[in-house]
Structure 1
Amino acid sequence: MKKREKKMAKAIKIIKEISSYNRSPVIGVFAPCDPRIDEESRQRVRNIIKMAADIIAENVKLPDGSYCKVVYSDVLIDGEKQADIVARQFEEEKVNILVGVPDTWAFPQLTLISFLQQFPSDTPINLTCGNSGPKPGVVYTHACSGALSQYGKLIHIIVGNWPDTGLNPVMSENTAKQLIDWCYAAVTYMGLKGRRVVIFGHDSMGMETALAHIIPTRKIFGIEITRLDMKLVADMLNKEAYDKNELKELRAFLEKYSGGIEIRNEEDSERFNKELAMYLIVRDIIKDLNGVGGGFMSQLEWGSDRRGIPLPVADVMESLFNSTFDHNGKKPPLPFATEADVQGLLTMLFFTYLSGGAPPLFMDFRKVWEAWEIKKLAEEIGVKIKGDEIWAVKGFVDGDNSGSASFDWAGYPGEEIEKIMKRIKFPLADEFYFPGLGNSVTFVSPGGIKGIAGRLAYSSLNNIFSLVWDEAETVEL
């Protein structure tokens, strides 16, 4: 009798080519339910799922201006079987952010807990409900929050408002706003997890607030800090390891559209070219490393230490990275910190993601002018003020910039590039501070631009990052 050959399983080779190196945030919307309730109430829950998913899809953007992918399942999670079905559906769609919209009571262990066990423990999860009475999803929401916290899992809950009755309820504007805000936070976390920033040199200030806290940043945010020596950039400058035609295009763009470039002689011109070449070199390095942000130390060894060979400042390079445009047209801002200030970089990085791609503005907190000081100075120099101006009533912060200010802040959001650039000038750097010279960036932001001012910091005492922030608005004096 002929012996049958045993069939062996074979490993499958993964196709090398992939469409993207990045893991994109994907939001999945679902709802638990109680299988005992009437069909009309169950259909209402399905409609709420779609309503919530549409609101998120229409309002949450990524830093490149594209909309975040949002999917939903109208399979109601009545128990373990449905939990498995929806989990597999979301797995197929690469969902990594979860939004539940319960409208009825259900049993936490049979539904949400069984569902969540199939996702990584750090998956952002939100439960948003109406403050309902008939079949109280709000009771389920609080019950789940308590049940999960007992085993160390924290979730974000929003007890909002939508009508208690009707097949097609719509959440209130305030509820939608809270949910959208949370989604931006979740997208920021998942969008940056596993990504890296590229730092050239060390932080020149030597302050705790600027240090690269590599391990805490890795463990808490999942962000890697790639450190490169500035010698690499210096060598590539000397080797002219950049596209010379593109350098000409970049300089021509700045010469044509800016408010002026201070050039005294051929030496100044060559230094300005080197400064622009730095942008092209560092841009390509960061792109090759698939980085989402960067930082560079202009002072000390690079541009200030006369024991070596001082090189041109990095101001123009930093501004170009942080802007939403360059000589090639529109682009997403790439947060880039002056003086390799890593905590400043993380602040800008988070704000850019949280805002769906707003360009960051790094500046020095120079002086707080209190209202009484303004009035006193006005009297001393003979300047008449009305006294009811917002800056005269509340005072203002002198936010002189010493580094990476995006060009966008020379104009209003959405203003034409040509108009913005005409307000920007490139004076020579202060030779006393920067003997390597090169050109700085100067402009005055117009009044009335509203934003968030803040700063991230890390404490080794409790191993916690903290963010100090407040609403801010530019003013014209």
Structure 2
Amino acid sequence: MKAKLLSRTVKPNTGKPVIGVFAPCDPRIDQASRERSTNIVQHAAEELAGKIKLPDGTAAEVVYSDVLIDAEAQADQVARQFKEAGVNVLVCVPDTWSFPQLTTISLLSHFPKDIPINFTTGNSGTRPGVVYTHATSGAIAQYGKLTHINVGKWPDSGQNPTMSPETLKALIDWCYAAVTFQGLKGKRVVVFGHDSMGMETALPHVLETRNQFGLEITRLDMKLLADMLKKESYEKEELKRLRSWLENHSADRIELPDGEKDSELLDQSLALYLIVRDLMKEVDAVGGGFMSQLEWGSDDRGIQLPVADIMESLFNSTFDHNGPKAVQPFATEADVQALLTQLFMTWLSGGNPPLFMDFRKVWDKEDISEFAAQNGYQPKGDEAWMKKGFVDGVNSGSASFNWAAMPEADENEVMKNISFPKAVDYFYYLGNSVHFKSPGNIKGLAARLAYSSLSGMFSMIWDEAETVALPDELAQKICDGANPTWPHTFVVPKYASMTEYKQYAPANHFHMTWGLEPARMQFWMDFANVLSVAPWQARPTFIEGTDRPIPLLYLVNGGEDVTKKMKAGKV
């Protein structure tokens, strides 16, 4: 027998998230009930198909087996079907009682222990799929594997029952988390430069990131970018198209006071986007980061180079000069934990653009009331920004263009709200910043990943949040008091008080993604074994219809944090 040389042609879906839907069944049951079970499998798969979007706009593949798992033989058969199809996410939709060890537990033995599995079932007394779900979930929890159950609703009778919208939504949220967890394994991000400005909350924890998330961090020196800029290692014609695109949108809002010199600097900053984009493509990176400060553009001992604000904003946006594109989360100041936060939240939201911000001034209710009075504005008191206060989220780079308008806005509507003033303060006027004020009423999650060497674990500090819009004159004065050339987003946390928000920030940066709800984040934190930190006094431990139910594994092991520490080997 000879060794077999593999073909260099790889299946297109290799390594991508693939959801496999299946069902166990009682071999003693009548044929009509078996047909109903098969119909439920097909229905669940078809309901999921096309609904779990990846950041590139494609949908996660969904497959199903019409082989009902009665015992070990069928479990092995379905497992082989799924492995051949590349399945790495499991959805079980039981409609009848069956025998846990002979069915799903036997199937699970074919897969890694961390493969996500969900049990979605109706709440039927006639055909107790819910009984099977509880029996199997309990058995699996005993040997330390995480599962999630979704006891939902579909009709007790009829051959083609359909799950309720609430049941489907809970399953879709779970699938997004599972796809994010599995889909990012083996991916990599590229970070240019070392930890900027000595910010230890920004460090690339290479080994821990690899072990916990399956992500690689490719580290490249900024000298490579400086050299490639000097060598003009980019397509000159594409640079012209990029410059023309920017001017077509914003010519009257691009500040070039020094004429030709400033125009050349703008070209260099745009060329930087093309260079970094191509380098990221070379290594198939899903995100990136750029150190900038201090060596790149604000240390006068070296050769000053143009600011990277436009480049960073372009990566975080859903379009550029070539049209619609996938977001590639990008972090300024080589803030790797910011990059990871944005990356996970972008995937969890199906590709929504992230917002990178300084956790700048926290305006509590008293602060903003006093400031308004000083500036001749009399609040009514019922304004959203007056009820609690807000955070002025502002930073020189990484602000996605999309956040200049509402989520449904198109490219033209977004770009008309953006200006490109000369960069000031720390950057020696070498290039252009990005400036806009985000509109109000954008809802999502504001969060920040953190790491502790004491526990050896990552945590996610998070809350639901909403943007607010202030009266124009007042908003401008607030921008002027921080930096008038940078983007500003005024953010109000839903549950955190402003005192809590001030005290519990894990770093000087925080991040927001619209259209992202708590359950998805919670499911993902379960899979990734990340500690959930939402210590706000006003937030209940569990909010029905908002939070995912606590997994049984946590309940029988003393709680969520204790169990996660056990899984990490820290207890």
Which amino acid letter does the alignment assign opposite residue 195 of structure 1? K
Equivalent residues in 2 for 1:13-412 (5 A)?
Answer: 13-18=5-10, 20=12, 23-258=15-250, 260-263=253-256, 264-412=258-406
Alpha-carbon distance in 2 for matches of 1:361, 1:395: 20
Q: Report the alpha carbon displacement of residue 234 of structure 1 after superposing the two structures with TM.
A: 0.7
Q: Report the alpha carbon displacement of residue 233 of structure 1 after superposing the two structures with TM.
A: 0.7
Q: Report the alpha carbon displacement of residue 11 of structure 1 after superposing the two structures with TM.
A: 2.6
Q: Which of the residues 4, 12, 15 maps onto 2:4? A: 12
> Comparing 279-288 with 463-472, which one deviates more in the overlay?
463-472
Q: Report the alpha carbon displacement of residue 420 of structure 1 after superposing the two structures with TM.
A: 1.3
Q: Report the alpha carbon displacement of residue 241 of structure 1 after superposing the two structures with TM.
A: 0.7
Q: 8 Å contact 2:358–2:394 — kept in the other structure?
A: yes
Alpha-carbon distance in 1 for matches of 2:186, 2:254: 40
> Comparing 370-379 with 226-235, which one deviates more in the overlay?
370-379
Specify the SS of the correspondent of 1:368: strand
Q: Report the alpha carbon displacement of residue 368 of structure 1 after superposing the two structures with TM.
A: 2.1
What percent identity do the matched residue pairs reach?
Answer: 66
Alpha-carbon distance in 1 for matches of 2:13, 2:62: 20
Specify the SS of the correspondent of 2:95: coil
Q: 8 Å contact 1:62–1:356 — kept in the other structure?
A: yes
Q: Name the counterpart of 1:466.
A: 459
Alpha-carbon distance in 1 for matches of 2:388, 2:48: 37
Q: Report the alpha carbon displacement of residue 416 of structure 1 after superposing the two structures with TM.
A: 2.3
Q: For residues 174-208 of structure 1, what are the alpha-carbon distances to aligned partners after superposition, in whole Å with 9 as ceiling and x for unaligned? A: 22111110100011011110000000001214233
Specify the SS of the correspondent of 1:366: strand
Matched, 1:455 2:448: yes
Q: 8 Å contact 2:14–2:86 — kept in the other structure?
A: no
Q: Report the alpha carbon displacement of residue 218 of structure 1 after superposing the two structures with TM.
A: 0.4
Q: Report the alpha carbon displacement of residue 349 of structure 1 after superposing the two structures with TM.
A: 0.4
Which ranges in structure 2 are unaligned for 5 or more consecutive residues?
A: 471-571
Alpha-carbon distance in 2 for matches of 1:112, 1:29: 12
> Comparing 145-154 with 38-47, which one deviates more in the overlay?
145-154
Q: Name the counterpart of 1:426.
A: 420
TM-score in terms of structure 2 length: 0.79
Q: For residues 250-307 of structure 1, what are the alpha-carbon distances to aligned partners after superposition, in whole Å with 9 as ceiling and x for unaligned? A: 1111111025211122221111111111111110000000100000011111111111
Q: 8 Å contact 1:311–1:436 — kept in the other structure?
A: no
Q: 8 Å contact 1:309–1:436 — kept in the other structure?
A: no
Q: Report the alpha carbon displacement of residue 20 of structure 1 after superposing the two structures with TM.
A: 4.8
Q: For residues 205-263 of structure 1, what are the alpha-carbon distances to aligned partners after superposition, in whole Å with 9 as ceiling and x for unaligned? A: 42332111111110111000111111111111111111111111111111110252111
Alpha-carbon distance in 2 for matches of 1:21, 1:83: 24
Q: For residues 43-66 of structure 1, what are the alpha-carbon distances to aligned partners after superposition, in whole Å with 9 as ceiling and x for unaligned? A: 221121122112211421111112
Q: For residues 344-383 of structure 1, what are the alpha-carbon distances to aligned partners after superposition, in whole Å with 9 as ceiling and x for unaligned? A: 0011101110011101111112122222332233233321
> Comparing 349-358 with 266-275, which one deviates more in the overlay?
266-275
Alpha-carbon distance in 2 for matches of 1:22, 1:141: 31
Q: Report the alpha carbon displacement of residue 406 of structure 1 after superposing the two structures with TM.
A: 0.9
Alpha-carbon distance in 2 for matches of 1:169, 1:20: 34
Alpha-carbon distance in 1 for matches of 2:129, 2:7: 45
Q: Name the counterpart of 2:479.
A: none
Which ranges in structure 1 are unaligned for 5 or more consecutive residues?
A: 1-8
Alpha-carbon distance in 2 for matches of 1:54, 1:254: 42
Q: Report the alpha carbon displacement of residue 21 of structure 1 after superposing the two structures with TM.
A: 8.9
Alpha-carbon distance in 2 for matches of 1:299, 1:35: 66
> Comparing 236-245 with 113-122, which one deviates more in the overlay?
113-122
